[in-house]
Amino acid sequence: MAFELPALPYSYAALEPHYDAETLEIHHSKHHNTYVTKLNAAAEAAGVADKSLEDILTSLDSIAEDKRTPVRNHAGGVWNHTFFWHSLSPSGGGEPDGGIADAIHGKWGSFEAFKEEFSNKAANHFGSGWAWLVVNSADELEITDTHDQLCPLSLGQKPLLTIDVWEHAYYLKYRNVRPDWITAFWNLVNWEEVNKRFSS
């Protein structure tokens, strides 16, 4: 079965004023959708169209080298965006509680210190890509970034939270000021979902 564009878990206007409806609609219905279309072609060409997205992303090395790059880029593009939409919520923001709060305090000492490091990672990422909170292969929380559409699943990591810092994610509203987009992002973080990911 072909890969399909997943519906957003909220309406295009639901994240206003922090994330404007026009950017979100283009981001989902155009950018995300294009990754889906191109993934279907790339997966077919590579003979992995019957696999799940997660299986593809965790076994990229099994794909012939000359077919691998478009699969990696577009499978990552599909998965990363779906994960990102579910990282946000109209009722998000604030500080986490539960297991992820304890783990963040254990690693960074305070939520503020975590937030500062994550924001700096996102702001200083050069070019297109993503900043992430992951559980790394040593089973520790880590703030990372990936270029283009590289997915942490392909690095053996368990992603918990992400922000898209491609210009298409923020340029209509925040123009060249990526730090303003990052500030707005903190008002939308779906900590309930992050907690579920952390404890799963």
Q: Applying CB under 5 A, does 23 fall inside the site for Mn ion? A: no
Of 109, 114, 76, which is closest to residue 194 (Cα–Cα)? 114
Residue from 3, 19, 114, 166 in contact with Mn ion (CB under 5 A): 166
Residue recorded with tokens 């799963």: 200
| CB closer to Mn ion out of 145 and 164 | 164
| CB closer to Mn ion out of 96 and 129 | 129
Single-letter residue type at 117: E
Of 78, 72, 137, 133, which is closest to residue 108 (Cα–Cα)? 133
Residue number, nearest CB to Mn ion = 164
Q: How far is the CB of 138 from Mn ion (least distance, A)?
A: 29
Distance of CA 34 to the CA centre of its chain: 16
User: What's the sign of the alpha-carbon dihedral 161, 167, 171, 175?
Assistant: positive
Residue from 164, 188, 193, 194 in contact with Mn ion (CB under 5 A): 164
CA distance to 101, 116, 129, 171, 189, per residue, from 135 (Å) = 14, 18, 19, 30, 18
Number of residues that make up the chain: 200
Q: How far is the CB of 194 from Mn ion (least distance, A)?
A: 19
Distance of alpha carbon 100 from alpha carbon 120, whole angstroms: 20
Q: How far is the CB of 32 from Mn ion (least distance, A)?
A: 7
Q: How far is the CB of 112 from Mn ion (least distance, A)?
A: 27
Q: What string marks each residue from 75 to 114 as x (binds Mn ion by CB under 5 A) or -? A: ----------------------------------------
| CB closer to Mn ion out of 96 and 159 | 159
| CB closer to Mn ion out of 26 and 49 | 26
Residues that bind Mn ion (CB under 5 A): 164, 166, 169
